[in-house]
Amino acid sequence: MSEHTRGSDDATQTDAAEHADQMTSEEKRHDQLTAAPDATEADAAPRIEVTEHDGNTRIDIRPDAAVRPGPGPGVDTGAHDSER
Protein backbone atom coordinates (compact mmCIF):
# COMPACT_ATOMS: atom_id res chain seq x y z
CA MET A 1 0.00 0.00 0.00
CA SER A 2 1.44 3.38 -0.91
CA GLU A 3 1.82 6.28 1.49
CA HIS A 4 -0.86 8.18 -0.44
CA THR A 5 -3.38 5.35 -0.07
CA ARG A 6 -2.60 4.89 3.61
CA GLY A 7 -3.08 8.62 4.27
CA SER A 8 -6.39 8.51 2.47
CA ASP A 9 -7.58 5.60 4.64
CA ASP A 10 -6.53 7.47 7.79
CA ALA A 11 -8.48 10.55 6.67
CA THR A 12 -11.57 8.43 5.97
CA GLN A 13 -11.37 6.83 9.41
CA THR A 14 -10.95 10.26 11.04
CA ASP A 15 -13.97 11.62 9.14
CA ALA A 16 -16.06 8.60 10.19
CA ALA A 17 -15.02 9.01 13.84
CA GLU A 18 -15.89 12.71 13.79
CA HIS A 19 -19.26 11.93 12.21
CA ALA A 20 -19.96 9.29 14.88
CA ASP A 21 -19.19 11.85 17.59
CA GLN A 22 -21.87 14.13 16.14
CA MET A 23 -24.55 11.42 15.94
CA THR A 24 -27.25 11.04 18.57
CA SER A 25 -27.56 7.77 20.49
CA GLU A 26 -30.59 6.85 18.37
CA GLU A 27 -28.67 7.53 15.14
CA LYS A 28 -25.73 5.43 16.34
CA ARG A 29 -28.10 2.58 17.27
CA HIS A 30 -29.78 2.72 13.85
CA ASP A 31 -26.41 2.85 12.09
CA GLN A 32 -25.11 -0.16 13.99
CA LEU A 33 -28.25 -2.27 13.55
CA THR A 34 -28.45 -1.64 9.79
CA ALA A 35 -24.73 -2.10 9.05
CA ALA A 36 -24.87 -5.86 8.40
CA PRO A 37 -25.04 -6.93 4.72
CA ASP A 38 -28.61 -8.32 4.91
CA ALA A 39 -29.93 -5.83 7.47
CA THR A 40 -33.23 -4.05 6.89
CA GLU A 41 -34.91 -1.03 8.45
CA ALA A 42 -37.00 -3.46 10.52
CA ASP A 43 -33.80 -4.54 12.31
CA ALA A 44 -33.52 -1.02 13.73
CA ALA A 45 -37.14 -0.81 14.87
CA PRO A 46 -37.60 0.08 18.55
CA ARG A 47 -38.01 -2.95 20.81
CA ILE A 48 -38.38 -1.38 24.24
CA GLU A 49 -40.23 1.49 25.89
CA VAL A 50 -38.56 3.35 28.75
CA THR A 51 -40.70 5.41 31.11
CA GLU A 52 -39.91 7.25 34.31
CA HIS A 53 -42.39 7.90 37.11
CA ASP A 54 -41.68 9.17 40.63
CA GLY A 55 -37.95 8.59 40.20
CA ASN A 56 -38.41 5.00 39.01
CA THR A 57 -37.39 3.85 35.56
CA ARG A 58 -39.44 1.13 33.90
CA ILE A 59 -38.30 -0.77 30.80
CA ASP A 60 -40.96 -2.72 28.90
CA ILE A 61 -40.74 -4.84 25.76
CA ARG A 62 -42.91 -3.18 23.12
CA PRO A 63 -45.94 -5.30 22.20
CA ASP A 64 -45.14 -4.90 18.50
CA ALA A 65 -41.43 -5.79 18.87
CA ALA A 66 -40.43 -8.34 16.24
CA VAL A 67 -37.56 -9.60 18.38
CA ARG A 68 -38.28 -10.43 21.99
CA PRO A 69 -36.23 -11.92 24.83
CA GLY A 70 -36.76 -15.54 25.72
CA PRO A 71 -37.39 -18.64 23.65
CA GLY A 72 -40.56 -17.31 22.00
CA PRO A 73 -44.09 -18.63 21.85
CA GLY A 74 -44.50 -22.30 21.08
CA VAL A 75 -40.86 -23.22 21.76
CA ASP A 76 -40.47 -26.19 24.07
CA THR A 77 -37.64 -25.45 26.52
CA GLY A 78 -37.85 -28.87 28.14
CA ALA A 79 -38.83 -27.41 31.53
CA HIS A 80 -42.33 -27.97 32.86
CA ASP A 81 -43.98 -26.24 35.80
CA SER A 82 -44.44 -29.60 37.57
CA GLU A 83 -40.68 -30.26 37.43
CA ARG A 84 -39.71 -27.06 39.26
What gap in Å lies between CA 46 and CA 23, rounded to an integer? 17
What gap in Å lies between CA 71 and CA 43, rounded to an integer? 18
pLDDT tens profile 35-46: 999 999 888 888
Q: Looking at the predicted structure, is the pLDDT value of residue 71 above 90?
A: no
In this prediction the pTM is: 0.47
Q: How confident is the model at residue 70 (pLDDT cuts 50, 70, 90)?
A: confident
Which long-range contacts (C-beta less than 8 Å, at least 24 apart) are formed by 55-62? Answer: none
Provide mean pLDDT across the span 55-74: 84
pLDDT tens profile 14-31: 666 676 788 999 899 899
Domain coordinates of the chain in residue numbers?
7-69
